Structure 1
Amino acid sequence: MALSISSPPSSSSLLAPSLQVGRWNSVSAKPGTFNLRRTALVARAAAGNASASPVGGTEVVTELDAVAGFSEIVPDTVVFDDFEKFAPTAATSAIDTALADGECNALEKPEARMSCYLTKALANVGAELAHQVPGRVSTEIDARLAYDTQGIIQRVHELLNLYNQHDISSERLLFKIPATWQGIEASRLLESEGIKTHLTFVYSFAQAAAAAQAGASVVQIFVGRIRDWGRNHSGDPEIDEALKKGEDAGLALVKKVYAYIHRNGYKTKLMAAAVRNKQDVFSLLGIDYIIAPLKILQSLEESVTDPHEKYGYVLKLTPAIGKTYEFTEEELVKWDQLSLAAAMGPAAEELLASGLEGYVNQARRVEELFGKIWPPPNV
């Protein structure tokens, strides 16, 4: 469970949170480490409106300038990995306030009390960041609720109420939910209330299609993780089919989902994560968002290029592919819990379970930290 902050909100800008608490900005990265040039990239990325062609003219541009004309490039940066590494002043205040909360202190069960502290601390930190930086505050929902639709919805409403107490409007909030069937259902119900959701741990077409049908604002596909699974395993029909065609399994899934979203006119924005190299970025041009590690962004920034040479910076994903992509009748159904479970495949099942386990362990570590420092002074 965690938070992050995206770039300034716009009608098309709904960036994703990460496992950590941090600030995401499509223009600049971690202070003192790496700064993207504020050239044409700023106007395009900040507006969330990619142009249909690369940077033109005789101006010398970097590869980063060029690719930013097609997709919004989001630096995968964080302020800290967990509460133990958070900026001292903000974290101390947020955590001490949470640990001194009378409502949480009144809970008899230790696990319920720690969960309450964590929820309050997240909202405190998120509110502090929201007051300092323009953009969306993204809060990750506890992975231990991944198979509890009502639990997810209740936790989102609790966080909304806490943010409201800090004068943070719902328009500035985005909630990251695991793409289990229960998470997808929670997304559908929350979106019907006007609450923006972001479905993560998407490793199969069925998950992505069900999420789009549910009206999720953002769907995040982990390109590199799918590729890694395909290199070390076999027996997943979706991945095996892509490999037989000579395609990269992760990139193939992104293309298929992108085509599906545009074929059906869904509002969902598509995000690619677990990007491993520059070629992945070039292969994803046209997708709504690309989360890229700093080392890749720095390599793109340091490479001065002529847009008419080298890679050519050609759009790989366009809405038009939705009209030409061939889907089976089974893929165009209205997804439900049974059909989703039958279609996910071993890769999605294994990667989803692994991702949830990692998030659960992180939440437990944070709660253990809270247990060590509770009670704070004056409690």
Structure 2
Amino acid sequence: MNQLDQLKALTTVVADTGNFLQLAQFAPRDATTNPSLILKAVQSPDYAPLLKGTVAAHKGKALDQIVDEVLVRFGLEILKVVPGRVSTEVDARLSFDKAATVARAKRIMALYEAAGIGRERVLIKIASTWEGIQAAAELEREGIRCNLTLLFAFCQAVACGAAGVQLISPFVGRIYDWYKKSAGAAWNEAEQAGANDPGVKSVAQIYAYYKKHGIKTEVMGASFRNVGQIQALAGCDLLTISPDLLAQLQASDAPLTRALDAEAARKADIAAVSYDEAGFRFALNQDAMATEKLAEGIRAFAVDSAKLDQMIASS
């Protein structure tokens, strides 16, 4: 049995791509997208007709509405391939505007519902800012399930659990990137691999906290740089993995063992914590890595959202 199949026995495997033509070979249950992945996909000749057709069908609408139509069109194609859920992201430029995030999320969900897709098959991706988490809490109360992304700090995970969000996506690779860059010449790759990888440790801490305190929010490790990070999180609720790394797992027959264990976490001595807005902002501020990576992630997604706007406007 290859490692991908072994992983599927322990963890729900999700494909991290906008390239739905590539999905079937890995048979993931769910798929996630983001502005950067959609931008990459629409630049491919394979998807040019889909982009042009969607834009033409909605000519005359406001640009932001056409963008959502394109995002949902990709989501609909993905849902033809995966049996589970697709994650579609709210514009990162709304990350600090709760009301606008709620409105955009509702519009995206309405487009899916108009296409005959039930709410249980869609997760709305929102950045894990304070405003984003509060928007998600409101949406969840109305039956719209959310995937809180760009999550780097423990306080973000705690706030998401308290808000009752469906799922969080802690970013393993980007945490690893920050610590590696910060250490410079002192970085020792072998010593910081596997369970010692700072991104892996972050997800393991969050997973243990949630299981200990009966928090139902699903933990989905994301943003992987190598298969070692994935192997070190086997047993996590879900892992969203790029096609390249899915292929590497599929090509290996080496044995894979469970790394995260819910039963062990429930027996661990882990104190409960909570954050009001001021406490959350201070805790995030005290984590230099999380503060920098959250800001950087929002900026990068905003740039790609603007590029997608330009492509659509000129189509």
TM class by smaller structure: 0.7 to 0.9
1:299-321: CA deviations, max 9, x gaps?
3322334x4xxxxx332211123
Q: Which residue of 2 aligns with 1:320?
A: 263
Larger Rg computed on CA atoms? 1
CA gap of 1:163–1:285, structure 2 versus 1, over 3 A, is: closer
CA gap of 1:322–1:219, structure 2 versus 1, over 3 A, is: same
Cα distance in 1 for residues equivalent to 2:230 and 2:72: 33
Q: Does 1:254 align with 2:203?
A: yes
Cα distance in 1 for residues equivalent to 2:114 and 2:12: 32
CA gap of 1:333–1:364, structure 2 versus 1, over 3 A, is: same
Q: 1:196 pairs with 124, 145, 155, which one?
A: 145
Q: Which residue of 1 aligns with 2:288?
A: 346
Q: Which residue of 1 aligns with 2:97?
A: 148
CA gap of 1:226–1:62, structure 2 versus 1, over 3 A, is: same
Two-structure CA RMSD over aligned residues (Å): 2.5
Displacement of 1:74: 2.8
Displacement of 1:65: 2.7
Equivalent runs, 1:132-171 vs 2, <5 Å = 134-171=83-120
Displacement of 1:131: 6.0
1:17-67: CA deviations, max 9, x gaps?
xxxxxxxxxxxxxxxxxxxxxxxxxxxxxxxxxxxxxxxxxxxx2233323
Q: Which residue of 2 aligns with 1:65?
A: 5
Q: Does 1:221 align with 2:170?
A: yes
Cα distance in 1 for residues equivalent to 2:248 and 2:82: 27
Q: Does 1:83 align with 2:32?
A: no
Q: 1:269 pairs with 189, 197, 218, which one?
A: 218
Percentage of matched positions with identical amino acids: 30
CA gap of 1:170–1:65, structure 2 versus 1, over 3 A, is: closer
8 Å contact kept, 1:98–1:121: no
Equivalent runs, 1:1-379 vs 2, <5 Å = 61-79=1-19, 81-85=40-44, 87-100=47-60, 104=61, 113-127=62-76, 130=79, 134-233=83-182, 247-305=196-254, 307=255, 313-327=256-270, 332-344=272-284, 345-373=287-315
Q: Which residue of 2 aligns with 1:52?
A: none
**Structure 1 counterpart SS, 2:250:** helix
Displacement of 1:193: 1.2
Q: TM-score, normalised by structure 1?
A: 0.68
CA gap of 1:248–1:122, structure 2 versus 1, over 3 A, is: closer
Cα distance in 2 for residues equivalent to 1:296 and 1:158: 33
Q: Which amino acid aligns with 2:291?
A: E
User: Which stretch shows the higher mean deviation, 350-359 or 363-372?
Assistant: 363-372
**Structure 2 counterpart SS, 1:90:** helix
Cα distance in 1 for residues equivalent to 2:16 and 2:74: 19
Q: Which runs of 5+ in 2 are unaligned?
A: 20-37, 184-191
Cα distance in 2 for residues equivalent to 1:214 and 1:192: 10
8 Å contact kept, 1:98–1:117: yes
Cα distance in 1 for residues equivalent to 2:246 and 2:78: 24
User: Which stretch shows the higher mean deviation, 257-266 or 285-294?
Assistant: 285-294
**Structure 1 counterpart SS, 2:196:** coil
Cα distance in 2 for residues equivalent to 1:251 and 1:194: 31
**Using CA pairs below 8 Å that are at least 6 residues apart, which structure has the higher relative contact order?**
2
Q: Which runs of 5+ in 1 are unaligned?
A: 1-60, 105-112, 235-242, 308-312, 374-379
8 Å contact kept, 2:88–2:125: yes
CA gap of 1:361–1:255, structure 2 versus 1, over 3 A, is: same
Q: Which amino acid aligns with 1:227?
A: Y
Displacement of 1:139: 1.5
User: Which stretch shows the higher mean deviation, 131-140 or 160-169?
Assistant: 131-140
Matched residue pairs, number?
284
Displacement of 1:115: 1.8
User: Which stretch shows the higher mean deviation, 268-277 or 344-353?
Assistant: 268-277
Q: Which amino acid aligns with 1:225?
A: R
1:221-260: CA deviations, max 9, x gaps?
11121122112227xxxxxxxx8xx932211111110011
8 Å contact kept, 1:212–1:266: yes
Displacement of 1:142: 0.5
